[in-house]
């Protein structure tokens, strides 16, 4: 395994990093912020400091990397990502070096610091990528089993194809938005259980889906395929992905072609893309795949990642209540397999594509990644600290998803995906 300089757990920064921060010097995620002057710039973050990469580049701090300065003067990361994995790694290593405790080059230059470093609370984070295409997989066995048990037959919860291929569908990219964007309850067609005819109105069963997504930073040509062995050259990094869902609309519309309007009214991502490099120390073995998969889906090495996942619900004026705790390691199908499957037929991919995991549910009821499962289809309401009950999500509830990996005293996190559910318009 390649040794990545920036991942060294011994490193410390001269910037202040709180003990429980998701953004120590070992993280160095990539995002895009809008400053006070309205300019959007590519950035990274250490502690609660947002670092303007364009300013760093203009002041010659990236001289030796040979990177074209203007790629950072951008409102998305796509141009930077298109430079390829060796450049992603070199940039991250160089940033790590600049902010390392013992390096005085920027630390002692107050004029430069004022141009480069901003407080997180004083900037606005925007969508970090232009998402061209978006796929949503269905790769957690716990989730697929729960849903199959509730809607079909507990004895045959998984469809016959489920353990042979990573099931997925092509979703819509235009409604993927950044954390802090609030979403109106969708309206649509539903057919209540006791009715013969459909009705139109606001969704009554508003839900979240706890997911992670990866972003590709390299394209393929039509006709080409990616193997499980080279998939990681294509994967730039990951974000938290809240795939908002209207269960009543979904139930009526999804046969025979799958989800449509029940899923495309808003999906909310965390603003910082944590690179696959930064997540390398947290790799773990996945569960044994049985039956054996076809040759193009076989892989070598540890491809799952131990990432703690949490969902909180905050009622209007109330406190954040943790609804569940799950983990990305529960994925049955890993990213390498998902990307190999996505392209095995010659489907081409692009820089900035997003691939969501599907709802990630663990083995125990407190690890289920949706209200549908947590309240078991509405049969087991959840009581919040303020005494109110939820089967699904109410208007003016705020949903917060958090994710972080932790090992050897280093915590590499994603920040949060936050959205408030507004009443239907
Ligand atoms: Mn989903």
Res. 342 pLDDT band, cuts 50 70 90? very high
pLDDT of residue 41: 97
pLDDT of residue 37: 87
Q: Give CA–CA dist 236/241, Å, rounded.
A: 16
pLDDT of residue 197: 97
Tokens coding 78: 């796509």
> Domain 5-126 maps to which CATH number in 2.30.30.230, 3.40.605.10, 3.40.50.720, 3.30.70.890?
2.30.30.230
Query: pLDDT tens across 204-234, in order?
Result: 999 999 999 999 999 999 999 999 999 999 9
Annotated domain spans of the chain = 5-126, 134-422
Any idea which residue has 């990094």 for tokens? 237
**What CA–CA distances, in Å, run from 80 to 83, 214, 395, 414?**
6, 16, 39, 20
Q: 358 CA to middle of ligand 1, Å?
A: 5
Supply the pTM of this predicted model. 0.98
Residue 2 has pLDDT above 80, yes or no: no
Residues with catalytic roles: 143
Res. 67 pLDDT band, cuts 50 70 90? very high
Residue 365 has pLDDT above 90, yes or no: yes
Arithmetic mean of pLDDT over the chain:
97
Q: Which CATH class is domain 134-422?
A: alpha beta
Q: 334 CA to middle of ligand 1, Å?
A: 16
Query: pLDDT tens across 244-264, in order?
Result: 999 999 999 999 999 999 999
Q: 357 CA to middle of ligand 1, Å?
A: 7
Query: pLDDT tens across 7-54, in order?
Result: 999 999 999 999 999 999 999 999 999 998 899 999 999 999 999 999
Exposure b/e, 411-420, CB count within 10 A at least 16 = b: bbbbbbbbbb
Judging by beta carbons within 10 Å of its beta carbon (0-12, 13-18, 19+), is residue 48 exposed, middle or buried?
middle
């Amino acid at each position: 395994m390649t040794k990545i300089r920036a991942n060294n757990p011994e490193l410390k920064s001269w910037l202040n990093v709180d003990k429980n921060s998701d953004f120590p010097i070992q993280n160095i995620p990539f995002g895009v912020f809008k400053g006070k002057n309205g300019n959007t710039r590519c950035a990274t973050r250490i502690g609660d400091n947002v670092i303007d990469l364009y300013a760093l580049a203009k002041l010659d701090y990236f001289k030796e990397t040979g990177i074209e300065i203007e790629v950072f003067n951008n409102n998305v990361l796509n141009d930077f990502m298109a430079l390829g994995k060796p450049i992603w790694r070199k940039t991250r290593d160089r940033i790590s070096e600049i902010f390392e405790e013992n390096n005085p080059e920027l630390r002692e230059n107050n004029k430069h610091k004022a141009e480069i470093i901003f407080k997180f609370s004083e900037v606005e984070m925007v969508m970090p990528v232009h998402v061209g295409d978006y796929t949503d997989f269905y790769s957690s066995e716990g989730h697929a089993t729960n849903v199959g048990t509730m809607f079909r037959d507990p004895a045959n919860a998984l469809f016959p194809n489920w353990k042979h291929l990573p099931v997925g569908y092509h979703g819509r990219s235009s409604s993927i938005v950044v954390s802090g964007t609030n979403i109106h309850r969708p309206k649509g067609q539903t057919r209540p259980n006791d009715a013969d005819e459909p009705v139109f109105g606001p969704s009554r069963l508003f839900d979240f889906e706890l997911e992670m997504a990866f972003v590709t930073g390299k394209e393929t040509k039509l006709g080409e395929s990616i193997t499980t062995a080279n998939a990681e050259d294509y994967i730039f990094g990951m974000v938290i992905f809240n795939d908002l869902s209207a269960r009543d609309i979904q139930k009526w519309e999804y046969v025979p072609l799958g989800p449509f309007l029940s899923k495309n009214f808003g999906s909310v991502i965390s603003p910082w893309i944590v690179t696959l490099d930064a997540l390398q120390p947290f790799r773990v073995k996945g569960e044994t795949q049985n039956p054996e998969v076809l040759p193009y889906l076989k892989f070598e090495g540890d491809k799952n990642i131990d990432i703690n996942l949490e969902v909180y619900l905050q009622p209007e004026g109330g406190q954040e209540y943790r609804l569940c705790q799950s983990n990305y390691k529960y994925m049955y199908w890993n990213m390498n397999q998902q990307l190999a499957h996505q392209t095995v037929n010659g489907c081409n991919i692009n820089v900035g594509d997003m691939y969501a995991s599907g709802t990630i549910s663990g083995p125990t009821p407190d690890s289920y990644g949706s209200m549908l499962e947590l309240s078991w289809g509405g049969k087991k309401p959840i009581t919040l600290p303020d005494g109110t009950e939820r089967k699904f999500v109410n208007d003016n509830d705020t949903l917060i998803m958090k994710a972080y990996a932790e090992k050897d005293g280093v915590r590499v996190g994603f920040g949060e995906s936050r959205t408030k559910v507004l009443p239907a318009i």
